[in-house]
Amino acid sequence: DAKTTQPPSMDCAEGRAANLPCNHSTISGNEYVYWYRQIHSQGPQYIIHGLKNNETNEMASLIITEDRKSSTLILPHATLRDTAVYYCIVRAHSGNTPLVFGKGTRLSVIA
């Protein structure tokens, strides 16, 4: 079962920042937070991951609270092409732990 809770849907105006929240209150010390997205009719695509420090790459920023019980994925300037389902996944970095997907957040970027 997925260990995360995400809102089912969100809207964002084009050009504005999209802030997607995720609750993972039962996360344990060796578990990372991953974000993937799935654009319609495509396979999921990796975005970013982190343990406890904030992370940034060319696609997004990941902000993890100090207690690690929640995180926020930030798309700084959302475009129409960012319309997708975004999945927050908690995953251990030990042993064989494949990605377990929940229902995700359907982000609609509106012109």
The residues binding other proteins (CB under 8 A) are 34, 41-46, 49, 87, 93-104
7 vs 44 by CB, closer to other proteins: 44
Q: How far is the CB of 84 from other proteins (least distance, A)?
A: 13
At residue 86, what are phi and psi to the nearest 5 degrees? -110, 125
Q: How far is the CB of 94 from other proteins (least distance, A)?
A: 7
Q: How far is the CB of 11 from other proteins (least distance, A)?
A: 21
Exposed (0-12), middle (13-18) or buried (19+): which is 96, by Cβ within 10 Å?
A: exposed
66 vs 94 by CB, closer to other proteins: 94
- 73 and 59 Cβ atoms separated by less than 8 Å: no
